[in-house]
Amino acid sequence: MLNNGGMPRQVDERKFQVGKNLALTPGAVVFRNEVFELIQYQPAAACPRALVIVPPQINKFYMVDLAPGRSFAEYAVAQGVQLFCISWRNPTAAQRDWNLETYLRAAQQAFAVAREIRNADQVNVMAACAGGFTLATLLGHMAAVGDHSVASATLLVTVLDTDSPTLLASSPRSPASPPRSALARQGVLEGEEMARVFAWLRPNDLVWMFVANNWVMGNRPPAFDILYWNADNTRLPAEFHADLLRLFLENPLPHRDRLEVLGSRIDMQKVKIPFYVVAGITDHITPWEACYATRQIVKGPMTFVLSSSGHIQSIVNPPSNRKAKFYLNPDLRLDAPQWLAKATQHDGSWWTHWSEWLAERSGGEVAAPAALGNATHPATDPAPGRYVHQR
């Protein structure tokens, strides 16, 4: 009650330390400003076209670089992917005015730095959850201004149509903005507040199980890297939180010209790059049927993959997971139940399927760079950088 806001702890935090047994894939920070650091990873081989990951602003980036053997970054680098990842700064009240456009400009700048370092005209991009909504909005802006510097996009557990049924969407909707006085005063939405909301969406698994284990039985919570990452939450600036809430309530992306950002009116029908969309069959936050609705929003060729896991486990799904399965069905004209009924089950992780898909869009293979960064953007701090340690 005194030390964790009245909630039982979900993880034994003593067992983990970022940079010691988490986020160990070799790399370096090659760009830093007040909003983000850009980490470039050292590849064994490389392709001309880099992959830039846009992580959610709600948690820290190392969801893609957990313990060795379970790290997506480690796997991608081993496949010859020239990988870059944004690490968002953990905002304080001083950054209360950061909004959606702040993060859109930051992601666009990260893409430009990666292209410059790789001396390439295009990059591939990947994002998850709230980062996926940010990325999709940016792609809409880029399509509006004729910017073709993104070759393909991978969206992980991302809902673009917020009218789709989700647990979050089950709350009453109102066209009016909710009271913002408390949030405006404190300047940020604390990560603990968001974590509490998400925990109570699944109370049996995320609250009462730990009440029984920790408080009743007197045991320590488990030592699990995903739960440690989940507890290592971040704050959201007040203006960005307001933008997210407005986007959730107004659901602009399925509708032409309903959203204006960076001086452009967004028409997602103009986004015609290839998409690789991953959803989790047991995901309670972004249900797979809601992720599947992306096929009606973007017009580029889309590969939809359904993983046999939940929200985060669908992302952290290494080939060493013997229980992993995924489902494929190229016929996206079908509704969700029909798609699943006719889908083909594949044993193993979608990571392997994705790496083959990405290789076709990465420009072949070239020699790995001898050094990270370049003269304009030299390598500085080793990965995982500084911002990931901000509390």
Catalytic residue ranges: 129
**Burial per residue of 34-64, b for 16 or more beta-carbon CB atoms within 10 angstroms, e otherwise:** ebbbbbbbbbeebbebbbbbbbbbbbbbbbb
Strand partners, 85: 39, 53
Instruction: Cite the beta strand spans of the chain per DSSP E.
Output: 27-32, 36-41, 51-54, 83-88, 123-128, 150-156, 188-189, 236-237, 260-261, 264-265, 275-280, 302-307, 325-328, 344-347
Pairing of strands 83-88, 264-265: unpaired
Cα within 13 Å of Cα(260), Cβ side: 2
CB 222 within 8 A of CB 210: no
* Secondary structure (3-state) at 39: strand
- Distance, CA of 118 to CA of 180 (rounded, Å): 43
How many other CB atoms sit within 10 Å of the CB of residue 269?
Answer: 13
Contacts of 157 (CB under 8 A, 6+ apart): 128, 129, 132, 278, 279, 280, 283, 285, 286, 291, 311, 314, 315
Structure-token match 């494929």, residue found: 328
User: Residue 180 to residues 177, 238, 242, 245: CA-CA distances in angstroms?
Assistant: 8, 9, 8, 11
